[in-house]
Amino acid sequence: MSGKRWIAISIAVGIFFISTVFNFFSYALSSNFTEMFEAAENEWLEHVVERGNGRGKIVVLDVNGVIQDTGDAVPLFSTGTYHHRQFLSMLEQAGEDPSIDGILLRVDTPGGGVVESAEIHDRITKIQEETEKPIFVSMGSMAASGGYYIAAPADKIIAHPSTITGSLGVILESVNIAGLAEQLGIEANVIKSGEFKDIMSPLREMTEAEHEILQEMLDESYNEFVRVIAEGRNMAESEVRKLADGRIYSGNQGVQLDLVDELGSKDEAIQLLMDHIGKGNIDVVRYEPSFGLNQFFALSAQKMFQTDHDLLGIKELLNQSNSPTLKYLYRN
């Protein structure tokens, strides 16, 4: 290797090192320096949003957006969207932390995947069984389908009068473009190992046998949805089935139908949870990422080698499968 090339490599390494050190101290000066090096016994740090009497605390966890697992490739400081694995991690920490007296789930979602909704539901019931910590749900503008599925086991559900909830049921959908493909002269060449390998292909009509297969799968998920509501709300399954025809309900209607316990805002839900715990006005906390050295250097490398986060998002979108999946999801 020539001397000039070695010099170029040395300069590049030096620039990377200087950039890393500069970013490090920039972050340190703009944040709590000690938190940055805190030994990460917990993945999430507590941020007090409402100081109370110091006798205990509740944590507020948000389910905001479509409930789906998009993997790990998300910006470190992303806000305003739901990230499934992060939420499950926060919920687990809240359940295991003995200093947390209660959990408030702020649910504002049209629902999402059947599997993801079930994972949240199972985590909630596990916390209730193992710790007996009260879990309240505060519904935002929408808590429909999978949003209600995860709310069903809560000790109390509080909604705004105008909350959109309900949409109790399962949906599986795809697009049939066979007619358009024929007009454009597009033909599908499919080689398959079995009759149903290309089930729900958008380039042909669905057969009756295929419809029966999919309906049977959907009915299994629907029956599980009914069971979860009946068990969580202490209702007869026959009564749940009358309500679970896919229609939406307002918060007011939810109270009348026993799908919601009380009407109120998020702040009122917090107060109800505090009253239930019985320690007075205790601290209200949220979770923030524990930002240690590993996270810092990972972020620095990401900024160095991939500055355009929009391109990262597009790449992830393209890599996602477009195959139809069963969903507890409200479509408007």
Q: So which residues are the catalytic ones?
A: 145, 197
Going by DSSP bridges, is the β-strand pair 248-250/164-166 parallel, antiparallel, or unpaired?
A: antiparallel
In the numeric block, the tokens 């749940």 are attached to 240
Contact 171, 139 (CB under 8 A): no
- Alpha carbon distance 304, 16 (integer Å): 8
- Alpha carbon distance 5, 96 (integer Å): 54
User: Taking the CB of residue 192, how many other CB atoms lie within 10 A of it?
Assistant: 10
Going by DSSP bridges, is the β-strand pair 111-113/262-263 parallel, antiparallel, or unpaired?
A: unpaired
Angle between helices 3-29 and 293-305 (to 10 degrees): 130
Contact 52, 277 (CB under 8 A): no
Dihedral sign for Cα atoms in the order 255, 237, 154, 218: negative
Label residue 129 exposed, middle or buried (CB < 10 Å: 0-12, 13-18, 19+): exposed
Contact 104, 140 (CB under 8 A): no
| Greatest pairwise CA separation for the chain in angstroms | 81
